[in-house]
Amino acid sequence: MLAFLPAPLRGALGFLLFVLNTLLWCTPLYLVLLLKLAIPRSGWREFHARLLTRIAEAWIDGNNLIIDLTQRIEWDMAGLEGLRRDEWYLVGSNHQSWVDIVVLQRVFNHRIPFLKFFIKQPLIWVPVLGGAWWALDFPFMKRHSAAYLARHPEARDQDWETTRRLCARFRDTPTAILNFLEGTRFRADKHARQQSPYRHLLRPKVGGLAFTLEALPDRLGTLLDVTLVYPDGYSTFLDLFMGRIRRVVVRIRSLPIPAPLLGGDYRNDPAFRTAMQNWVGRIWAEKDALIDELRRGAGAAGVPG
């Protein structure tokens, strides 16, 4: 344990180790990617995809080890029973910061298929990471604002077609698709601007989840409903490396996705759209109450988490 070091030194060391660990595992990952591109045969592609996943899981193991070496975090996790690596899952979570990704990767690594999540198209140009996400078949999508969609309603159909095409690659291999239903990280100003009816959550955006279910109705039967709470009120990468995150609470519920919600037309069927929104709304109300309970039980700080 290196947690005895002064916070600035520990933070700098943790960040440096994260960078080195990323470079360490991205090197073989890129080499396998080159082989995958050079030998585009079906059997080889499947072999390369499995190998790329093993490398990515080792990358996550390294990140977890660095956190354990440099931080004193109490991990309070529940709901991991019965998870399988050979199943398809839709994973839904509240969203505080990019640390959520690190937490979710820690929680689910080796327990379910490697987490995939939709990424904004411009992020493919992020040095090292962009290519790694592309190699691992993370789906890249253009994101349209509500104002843009109001002016260009045809973009909704483009989004659906993109989702369908990207999800098609997951049909033959067990996959876990992560969706932050709030669409963005929680901030008090966003919460106020939305006039959210939830105390600890932004309003959920159901379209992306509905499009995914419409694209893979015969594969996705379970929603892993994840609730993340940072009782200390800190949740950024700076907070993580500086040792301000002392406890992370994770609660997971395995919820069967109602059969009527599989394969429906969210874009053009108002009754289906209402049913999907009502289902997610009930989950969101339960999540909001759970966050309130967990925060009160942990004596949480005043910052929502």
Contact 209, 90 (CB under 8 A): yes
Q: Check pLDDT > 50 for residue 305.
A: no
- The ranges assigned to domains in the chain are 1-72, 74-298
Contacts of 302 by beta carbon, 8 Å cutoff, 6+ apart: 233
Q: What is the model's pLDDT at position 81?
A: 94
Q: What angle do CA 304, 209, 162 make, to 5 degrees?
A: 125
In the sheet with 222-229, reading across from the earlier edge strand, the strands are 74-78, 247-256, 222-229, 89-93, 176-180, 115-117
- Distance between CA atoms of 227 and 217, rounded to whole angstroms? 24
Q: With cut-offs at 50, 70 and 90, classify the pLDDT of residue 69.
A: very high
User: Burial, 13: exposed, middle or buried (Cβ in 10 Å; 0-12, 13-18, 19+)?
Assistant: middle
Query: How confident is the prediction for the chain on average, in pLDDT?
Result: 88
| Structure confidence by residue, pLDDT tens digits, 104-121 | 999 999 999 999 988 888
Q: Check pLDDT > 50 for residue 248.
A: yes
Q: What angle do CA 108, 114, 115 make, to 5 degrees?
A: 75
Q: What are the φ/ψ torsions at residue 177 (nearest 5 degrees)?
A: -105, 120
Which amino acid appears at position 275 of this protein?
A
- Distance between CA atoms of 70 and 103, rounded to whole angstroms? 15
Do strands 140-141 and 247-256 pair parallel, antiparallel, or not at all (unpaired)? unpaired
Q: With cut-offs at 50, 70 and 90, classify the pLDDT of residue 304.
A: very low
| Structure confidence by residue, pLDDT tens digits, 226-238 | 999 999 988 999 9
Is CATH 3.40.1130 the right assignment for the domain spanning 74-298?
Answer: yes
The model's pTM is 0.89
